[in-house]
Structure 1
């Protein structure tokens, strides 16, 4: 059963059809690739990759959300003898919001969990970025109605709090 769960994630991260993040010559994620994206939040930190992941997990829990998914190519690549900067996607959500969204739009739940993205820089620091929940759920606003917009505003605030707490 565990193999069936891990296999899709492994295929996702090993597939050449999936474009990886763009790295600068020094191996760091190019800041413009993350910081200038409309509808994204980006926080540069001086924390190490491992510390930022730990602090993000603690901030998620402190805000009564749960980690639903976690994946990254770094460790698998290292196992193949390939060294790439730390790269972790952590999917976060809360069942109360899941039920509220489902009451408005079943298709919108394909977007949950909403993902935080931790990327390591060449100097050992790591950065945190994520798509704003309002951006993620925007395609469903017309069908779901104004209550989904209310949920998006709440989620935007909570995710900003989680990111701010993790990055401090």
Structure 2
């Protein structure tokens, strides 16, 4: 019975497998708070703006529930917004594109995101080559943010 209970408890734990298709993932040795701070700084240093931030960790704590650090940081800028809108009004539903900072069980944190080219792929027919070029620019920009944030 104990073995079964232990097994069932393990099933309830979140499992990080390989990242889903279209995701970039950067495990770090940094703490959650340090990686959040460094990600915000890297966003700004790379010409983007933190447009949104949301996560359940603090709200859960206010309810007496402890969960690992978890924050979504939306990044974009007006230049990209205008350019995307010129190609596809529908594609703008995806902006801002989000970074995802998660706390690992060992106290370290991971930075992940869906690549902009993956995010905008469903709108390629509407946005054409220009939208694909913007997405490729953003791929480079998001990679630069991630590499800066995790170093």
**TM norm structure 2:** 0.90
- SS of the residue aligned with 2:67? coil
Q: CA deviation at 1:29?
A: 5.0
Query: What's the CA shift string for 1:68-109, capped at 9, x where partnerless?
Result: 100000000001000000000000001111100000111110
Aligned counterpart, 1:104: 87
Listed as ranges, the gaps of 5+ residues in structure 2 are: 1-8
Matched, 1:113 2:106: no
**TM norm structure 1:** 0.81
Matched, 1:30 2:15: yes
Runs (4+) of structure 1 exceeding 4 A deviation are none
Aligned counterpart, 1:128: 111
Query: What's the CA shift string for 1:97-139, capped at 9, x where partnerless?
Result: 1100000111110000000000001111000100000010001
Q: CA deviation at 1:36?
A: 2.7
Distance, in Å, in 2 between the alignment partners of 1:106 and 1:125 is 39
- SS of the residue aligned with 1:31? coil
Q: Considering only CA atoms, is the larger Rg found in Structure 1 or Structure 2?
A: 2
Aligned counterpart, 1:79: 62
Please tell me the root mean square deviation across aligned C-alpha atoms, in Å.
1.7
Listed as ranges, the gaps of 5+ residues in structure 1 are: 1-23
Distance, in Å, in 2 between the alignment partners of 1:47 and 1:30 is 20
Count of residues in Structure 1 that have an aligned counterpart in Structure 2: 143
